[in-house]
A and B are shown apart, each in its own frame.
Chain A
Amino acid sequence: MSLELEITLNGKKVAAEVEERTLLVHFIRDVAGLKGTNIGCDTTSCGACTVLLDGRSVKSCTLLAAQAEGRQVTTIEGLSPEAGDGSDPAASERMHPVQRAFHENHGLQCGYCTPGMVLAIASLIDEAEPGTLDEEAIRLGLEGNLCRCTGYHNIVAAALAAARQTGAARR
C-alpha cells in the first residue's frame, strides 16, 4: 500500500508517494535525498538517525514517515542553513551554537554520530529549564546516542559549552 505524504523538511514542503511502511529516516535519505542523517543500527539503539520533529529530537528510524505528515522535520542540513555546507569559512561562522561548540571542543572524529548528537543536544538544551543542565544530566540525556570515537568526553564538553551560552547550564 502506498500513500501520499507531505512533510515540511528544513522549512521546505516535500511531497511524495511512498510505501506505507516507509520509515521517516528513509524518507529523509532516499526520497528527499538528504544524506546528513545516518543509520547506525536496526534496534533503535544508536541515535545516529536523530532529527527534530516539531523542534523535539526523535530517532527517525523509530517513526513511520506517515507519522510526520504535515509536521516540521529539521535535519542537520537545516539546523543553520545560513552556515552553508562547510566549504566557506565565513559562512561557517554562522553555525548554530551547538555546531560551533562541537568544532571548538573537538566533539567529533569520524562524524558518523555527529548529526544525531548535535540535534539531540540542541533539543536537550532547548527543553532544559534555565540554569539546570549539568554534566550528569547531559550524560543521561545522551544515553541513546552512541559514539565509538570520542569517548563522549568532548561531546559532553561541547554540550556544556553550548548550554552555558544559552543559559541552560547549571550556574
Chain B
Amino acid sequence: MSILGNRVLRREDPKFLTVGGTYVGDIPIEGALHASFVRSSLAHGRIESVDLEEAVAAPGVVAVYTAADLGLAPLAPMGLLNQEMKRPLLAEGVVRYVGEPIALILAESPAAAVDAAEAVIVDYEPLEAVVDPSQALEGGVLLFPEAGTNVVFDLSSEEDPELFSGCEVVVSQRIVNQRLAPCPLEVRSAAAEMVEGRLRFYASTQGAHGVKDELCSALGLPPEQVHVISPDVGGGFGAKGGPYVEELLIGWCARETGRPVRWTESRSESMLGLGHGRAQIQQVTIGGTRSGRIEAYRLSILQDSGGYADVGAVLPFLTRQMTPGVYDIERVEFHSRSVLTNTMPTVAYRGAGRPEATAAIERAVDCFAAAAGLDPAEVRRANFIPKASFPHTTAMGTEYDSGDYEKAFDLALEMAGYDELRAEQERRRQRGDRCQLGIGLSSYVEITAPVSGGEFGAVEVRPDGKVIVRTGTSPHGQGHATAWSMIVAEQMGVPLEQIEVIHGDTDIVPRGGGTGGSRSLQLGGSAVHKAAVDVVERARRLAADELEANPDDIVLDRSLGLFHVAGTPAITKSWAELGAASLEREGEPLAAETDFEHPGSTFPFGTHVAVVEIDTETGQTRLVRHIAVDDAGRIMNPLLAEGQVHGGVAQGAAQALLEEFVYDTEGNPLTTNLADYSFISAAELPSFETAFTETPTSRNPLGSKGIGESGTIGSTPAVHNAVVDALAHLGVRHVDMPATPERVWRAIREAKGAA
C-alpha cells in the first residue's frame, strides 16, 4: 500500500511542541554585538546632516556607520526593471520612504544599540512626497529625478478601441487591491560571524542559497567564503524571499569588525522594514452577450512599487499571465505600469501577483452578471475553459497544463448548498431582515513554480541503514521533512523514522532555489523522488553483485525494504548492508544527487464559496462559512495540503474584510504595529469546509501542483463578492476592500440615498 496520499502526521512537530523551534534569535552566539538602525521619519527628503556625536559616545556603543562608511555599490534592480533606480544599502543623500535605514549602530547590548539609535539626530530638507500611484505616474514628484520618470516597469501597449465592439453588455469597474503587511509571526532576524576566515550567516529566510548569492554580490565575496544557515523560520509568506539591506549589512558588519553581530527587529520596525504586498489599482472592463457569454476583457493596472524597485514592481508580469483566469475569452487585453511612491517597497506576498489577477477577473465576472441580470454561478459555468481543451493556451499565451474547472465548481456548489443559500437569501430580502446574507463565488486558476530554475535533491544510505535526504527547498512551516520522507519511503521501502531531511545549509546542500511560488513539492519533491529512484537503481546493481545475480533479476520488496533475487525471497540484502557494501566495494557511499529541471509551471485551480452575514444597520460583516474546493493535482498528504489551504483562506479573507496598510497623504504610515494593523484573529473566522479534486499534471513525476497559495488566491474574491452580493438588492454594485463596517455602512447609505 502506498504511503502517498495519506494523512501522515508531521515528524517535525514534537520538537516545536516540547521545547519550541530554534529561530535565528534563539541561536546562542558568544560575544555578539547587537545592531540597530536609525530610520527615516520622513517619506521624502534630502538628508542635510546626520549628527552621530551623542550616539558614538553612548555607553556600550562600538561603532556607528552611515552610507559614506560602507564603500558598497548600490543594489541594481532586477533585469526587467528601470536600471536608473538603484538602491543604496543605507540612504545616501535622499530618503524615499518612512523607515528607510540611514545609519547603523553596533553596541554591546540590544538596549544600548536602540538607545544610541534614538540619540542620532538627522536633519532633513523635506521634499514633496508622492503616495498615490496615479499621481506618481503623472511624474510631478520624482523619486529618482535622473530617471525622468517614476515608472519602473511598463507592460502597457496601445488599447484596442474595438475590443468591446459588438458586446451587448459592457461593464467597467475600478478596484483597489490594497496594500497589506505580510506579518510572519517571526519578524526579521539575522546573525553573522567570521569562522576560520569565512562569513557564517544565519538567516530567517525562504531560501539560504538566494541569501548567499546576494551576500556574495553585495559584499563582493567569492561563494566559498560564505556559509548561510537558515534554521527554523517563523513564517515567510513571500516577504522573506530574499535578504533585505539590513541583513546584507549585518554580514558586512561581521567582516568589518571581526566580531559576531546580531539583529532582531521589533514588530513596529518590521511593519516599516519587511516588504509590503499587493498594492495594485485596477481598472477592469468586461463585455459579452445578454445571455452571459463573455467575449472581451481588459485589465489595466497600476502597481505601487514603493520607494525602490523591489520584487513588487515585477509582479504584474505574473498578473498578466493569469488575466483571463478560468474563462475561455476570445479578446483579452492587459496593461500595467509599476511606479515608485514614497512608501515601503512592495515584495511578494502569498500569491504574489496572482491573487490580484483573480481578484480582478472574479469581481469583473460578478459585475457582468449583475449588469446582465444573471446568476453569477451560471455565468461562470457558461464560460469555463472546457475540460477537453487542455493543455489550453490562453489569449495571453499562457499554457495551462491540465484542468477540470467544472468538476471543482460543481463540488463547491454542492458542499455549499448553493440553491438553498440563494433561497434563504431571498427570504431575508423579502422580509427586509436587518441581517442580510451574501454568497460569493470565486473560480480561480493560478500558476505554481512560476519562475524558471530547477531544484536539487539528494539521497544517501548510511551503513547503519539511515537515509539522509538533502533538498534545496527551504520550509518555514510547510512540512517538507514529512512530505519528502514520504516520497523517499515510498520509493525505497524504508520507514519514515529512518529518514532524515536536511535543508537550509549551504555547506551541506550545494544548490537550491528555496521555497516560494508554491514550487517546493513539484520541483524539490520531484528532485528527491528522482534521487530516490536513482539510489534504488544503484542499490539493485550492488545487490546483484552481492547476490551474484543479474541486476534485472533483483527486486526490491518495498514492504520490507529488502532486495532479493526474483523467486528466492529468503536470501536478502538490506539497505544497511548495501550502504556498507557500497563503501567497501566502491569506496563511496550509496547515494544519488540530482537536479530536477524546471518542466514548466503548473496551474492549480478551484472554486471557493464564501457566505457572509451583514448587519445592514451597522455594516458589521461576518464570514460565517467558507467552502474551498482546490485542485492541486495529486495530493501527497491531505493533512498538510489542508493546512496550507486553511492558512491561505484566512489570509485571503483578511484582505477582503480587515487588513490594510495605510499611509496618510504625506507618506506617514498609520498602521505601524499589531494594535493598529488588523491582523485577523481566531474570533473573526469560522472553521472552513475544504475538499480536493485531483486532476494530475504531467509536468512532474508526482503529478502534483503547488498548494501553498491557492487558499489566498481563491478566498479573497469569494469573500469580497459575498459582501457585495449581500447588498446587491439595495443597489450596491461595489465596495472596496477591506470591507470594514464603516465602508459597508457608507455603501449602504449611498445606495439608499441614490435610490
Residues of A at under 8 Å CB distance from B?
35-46, 48, 76-77, 79-80, 83-87, 89, 92, 95, 99, 102-104, 106, 108-115, 118, 135, 138-140, 142-157
Contact = CB atoms under 8 A, between A and B. Distances in A.
A76 B13 contact: no
B510 interface: no
B14 A140 contact: no
A149 B185 CA distance: 9
A103 to B, nearest CB: 5
B185 A153 contact: no
Contacts of B675: 43-45
Nearest to A99: B17
**Nearest 8 A/B pairs, CB to CB:** A36-B20, A151-B650, A112-B234, A86-B15, A109-B477, A110-B477, A86-B14, A111-B16
Interface string B456-486: 0000000000000000000011110000000
B643 A110 contact: no
Contacts of A108: 10, 13, 16-17, 477
Interface string B256-292: 0000000000111000000000000000000000000
A120 to B, nearest CB: 10
Contacts, number: 193
B673 A43 contact: yes
B683 interface: yes
Tell me the interface secondary structure of chain B in the complex: loop
A20 to B, nearest CB: 13
Tell me the interface secondary structure of chain A in the complex: loop
Contacts of A154: 642-643, 646
B681 A149 contact: no
Contacts of B490: none
A110 B232 contact: yes
Contact of A77 (B18, B21, B268): B18
B185 A103 contact: no
Given A77-B20, A103-B14, 12 more contacts: A38-B185, A40-B674, A102-B13, A106-B643, A108-B17, A112-B234, A146-B674, A148-B647, A150-B650, A151-B650, A151-B711, A153-B685
Given A95-B18, A149-B647, A109 B479 contact: yes
Query: How big is chain B's contact interface, by range?
Result: 35 or more
Contacts of A83: 14, 18
B517 to A, nearest CB: 17
B237 interface: yes
Nearest to B12: A111
A115 to B, nearest CB: 5
A60 to B, nearest CB: 13
B682 interface: yes
Nearest to A94: B18
Given A43-B674, A109-B478, A148-B185, A89 B497 contact: yes
A87 B486 CA distance: 19
Nearest to B475: A110
B113 to A, nearest CB: 15
Nearest to A108: B16
A110 B17 contact: no
